[in-house]
Chains A and B, each alone.
Chain A
């Protein structure tokens, strides 16, 4: 499973980086979204992959052997929401730039 997920993270990140280096704003926004998937999965995987581990305490306390690691999950949870916010901000900047300059090139003008 680890191998599968690692390959998936690699592909997501690779596709994202490729799009990040493209000249059109829409490509960049899609690229950033793909990279954020990869990064979220990467952070999440730092807690190791645990199929069927209990995510919620059943007793008063628990130890790490019986439960899924909550720390990366908490990190990723906020990262997802913040990621949405930055995507929205970027989209609006992109649209404003398109409205102002008349082009969707990342530099605000078509290359010569």
Chain B
């Protein structure tokens, strides 16, 4: 199979599987397991197929362009190390799926579980085979997110929610650091491509930004691998279902941190900074994790701290900067995954069978489940580093490295002692795990009788324990070649000689192992009594919990400080916010202007026309009076607003913009209708008669706001004046459009050609906004409860109704129906005329003033007029307008026209133009842009009509509710 396809399949398959898994029935455990297991197995097989090519060529790559201008390509790259991890991730994925099939209860919603698990697998596989650092960070963040979702799977449990949130906060902060660190690396190297970064080790280490980049990247890796001082999220993540703990929090995701450190090891390691930071974190985690693990009562808590400790061991090996240390680190990654996952699964079985994970309550389980107990014992022995098991081998390599001197310092001198001590602790907690759970007195007060789990639930453990044994006895024959491929891909020519033999003779490491074993057993014997009585947590420093510190910091940051800042700086009142906005805008415009720019030397003023002055004298009067009247005389203000709008409209026409004038005029009409419709629900506000008393505060506010208004208006005016009078640059973007409008756009109305052709994509966006707004208005009004009408039924209507009641041959409402009869008839007759006008405006739009926008609003006005003339009910009995369909069809047409260009191999929204001879109309420019414009027309008609009609319907609804209320009253009476 082609390497390209293979790599893409490995990443894509799990995500496809995830989407599929999400669609299954809630209790479809079997089909989910088949699907997820199949996907994991497929990935495993794909990886296996890739192996020969990797051995031969070193790495296989697949590269596709993504954001090439940013140096971001979707590059996948699988070398030996990535291959090893791909096998771990997909192989463990398969085993965990098998286990989870039996672990999950029939009541759990399994589609969510398997969908997240598969998506996590995809993210993890993507992370390990990313060939681009930014891509790697993206997959890295995805693993954090799916880990969050999986920890919080049982979200009814507060512990699960808190644990999930904590894990996401810690790893998310680390991920942010990693992103910035990677960007710095990209800046240093000039590329995010992994191959180029790996080749630029010296360049990176010598760069000034090396230390910040290193610290940021380590922030990412150490948080992910739960290393001291960020270790505390891992024990809290144990609220996750056990298959998740086994998969994410022991075998794979927590390994991502050490994976990346090993990946970048050739580039970043070997400096004092690396040695100190990584070495300290590793050593502290190794020791603290092992020590804390002894004092846990929760089985999974013990395993979680043990994981921290073992990851610390790997980190410490990587910190040394010696190739042999790196070999040991990679080897231990495999070994730890094998025995720790099996132990987690065993802990899950115990929990499943007994209903508790508390070691103080458990005991004597060997007689109920001998096979599981044996398996768990072998795995614990591997964890403790007992000879003939895989844990022993990598631990021996670790001891051998610890006694070597790498960089003379306290850290280096103390390393052998710390190593032995931590190993002794590991022996102690492993022994405790075995002894308290499987031996001793029978457990009391269990909810059910424990027994062996189903065979297939135990199978993953059997498989992994067998692996521990086989690797532990014949390492060179089993894991040897694969480990070698991985090591070569990381170390390259620096690969040292190493031997995977079980027996190296009587050496110092062997002595250290023996000391650790004996010391561990002795320590357990000493502590046994205390452990069974004590609370959870290590003695003396039980109360000092990193978790509490973390929570306190969070509370202070996100609650206390946030609230005090909000209380001091924030306001929920709109006016101060708007005032601030206006003043800020004013200052922002003022700052860059120097007085020189405003010198009016190059004044170019055209002659003043008296008519134009008159137009604006009235326009200004209208605007100022509207501002003055808007509080008490809304209708007057609305009319005055229209006056100012008309002046604007005439200005457009005056200065050679007929398109704008037309649009402004029509929009003015619909806006006025719209606001008129809304007026009735605003509260009555009657101006007080006589002398008014205005408080000092109010007066101050008015003076201040008046000052702001004058300053803002004056500023805009000055800017406009200066801009208008400065000379036109010779070449503006307009020249381009004027030259190309007809030649390339096939239209003579340049404005329209810009809208539907050159900037068609912008227009598509704008009409989409229009459609969204209309739908929002519609949705808001559907659930809308209008306020009571502010004004009672007018006298005229009441009198007319009274008249109808008095006359025996008239029904109530007959007279009102004839209200404004003559205008109504004219409006009805105007309907076809306006439609024709709209069509005319639309068809000529490409060459003459007009176009989809104008035509759309004109057509909408025609519909609105019908409503105004005859009332909602009359119109809707006769004319079915489906504005939502207009919007939908319009959007569809515009988008399809744009996509049509693809058929001919052109980019989206490329147009084609041709004149067509239409009967009676004559030669009409028929560009495909016309179809696009038709879409625009549809959207404008639909949106305008939808909004106005939705608002108009409110009045009938108000009438209906009033009628229902009166009927109810009558019934009561």
Partner-B contacts on A (CB < 8 A) = 1-27, 29-31, 33-34, 37-38, 40-42, 44-64, 67-71, 73-74, 76-78, 80-89, 91-96, 98-100, 102-104, 106-107
Is B848 at the interface (CB under 8 A from chain A)?
yes
Q: Is the CB of A103 within 8 A of B674?
A: no
Bitwise, B894-926 to A at CB < 8 A (1) or not (0) is 000000000000000000000000000000000
Do residues B631 and A27 form an inter-chain contact, with CB atoms below 8 A? yes
Say yes or no: is B608 at the interface (Cβ < 8 Å to chain A): yes
For B, the interface residue count at a CB cutoff of 8 angstroms equals 115
Ranked nearest first, the 5 interchain pairs of A and B with the lowest CB-CB distance are A14-B713, A10-B717, A6-B721, A18-B709, A70-B750
A51 touches B627 (CB 8 A): no
Contact A92 B681 (CB under 8 A): no
Question: In angstroms, how far is the closest chain A Cβ from the Cβ of B683?
Answer: 5
Return the contact of B660 from the options A7, A33, A34, A73 (Cβ within 8 A): A73
Pull 25 A–B residue pairs with CB atoms less than 8 Å apart, ordered by A. A2-B725, A4-B613, A5-B616, A6-B717, A7-B717, A8-B651, A11-B620, A17-B713, A19-B626, A21-B579, A33-B641, A34-B623, A37-B645, A38-B713, A49-B655, A55-B750, A56-B749, A61-B741, A63-B735, A71-B754, A78-B766, A91-B678, A95-B954, A98-B681, A98-B683
Q: Are B728 and A64 in contact (CB under 8 A)?
A: yes
Given contacts A2-B721, A13-B717, A18-B627, contact A64 B738 (CB under 8 A): yes
Binary contact readout B592-626 vs A (1 if CB under 8 angstroms, 0 otherwise): 00000000000011111100110010011001101
Q: Is the CB of B755 within 8 A of A14?
A: no
User: How would you classify the secondary structure of chain A's contact residues: helix, strand, loop or mixed?
Assistant: helix
| A103 with B732: CB separation less than 8 A | no
A71 to chain B: closest residue by CB = B734
Cβ distance A23 to chain B, nearest Cβ, rounded Å: 6
Chain B contacts for A19, CB-based, 8 A: 626-627, 630
Q: A71 to B655, alpha carbons, bound, how many Å? A: 14
Residue of B at shortest CB range from A87? Answer: B671
User: Which single member of B631, B656, B664, B733 contacts A22 (CB below 8 Å)?
Assistant: B631
The verdict on A51 contacting B654 (CB below 8 Å), with A62-B738, A91-B675 known, is yes
- In the complex, what distance in Å separates the CA atom of A107 from the CA atom of B573? 6
* CB–CB A89/B728 < 8 A: no
CA distance A99 to B740 in the complex (A): 52
Let me know if B751 is at the binding interface, CB within 8 A. yes
Q: Which of B616, B656, B733 contacts A71, CB < 8 Å?
A: B733
B residues engaging A (CB < 8 A)? 572-575, 578-579, 582, 604-609, 612-613, 616, 619-620, 623-624, 626-627, 630-631, 634, 637-638, 641, 644-645, 647-648, 651-652, 654-660, 663-664, 667, 670-671, 674-675, 678, 681-683, 685, 705-706, 708-710, 712-714, 716-721, 723-725, 728, 732-735, 737-743, 748-751, 754-755, 759, 762-763, 766, 769-770, 773-774, 776-777, 780-781, 784-787, 847-849, 853, 857, 940, 943-944, 947, 951, 954
A74 touches B951 (CB 8 A): no
Contacts of A55 in B (CB 8 A): 656-659, 749-751, 849
Q: Give Cα A5–Cα B737 distance, bound, in whole angstroms.
A: 27
> Does the CB pair A63–B713 fall under 8 Å?
no
Min C-beta distance of B40 to chain A, whole Å: 49
Task: Look across to chain B and name the residue whose beta carbon is closest to the beta carbon of A107.
Answer: B573
Residue from A37, A45, A86, A98 in contact with B773 in the complex, judged by beta carbons closer than 8 Å: A86
How far does the alpha carbon of A45 sit from the alpha carbon of B647 in the complex, in Å? 15
Cα A104 to Cα B656 in complex, Å, equals 41
Knowing A71-B732, A74-B754, say if A6 contacts B724 (CB, 8 Å): yes
- The listed residue (A21, A26, A57) touching B748 by CB distance below 8 A is A57
In whole angstroms, what is the CA distance A107 to B578 when docked?
12
Which of B608, B638, B763, B777: most chain A Cβ within 10 A?
B777
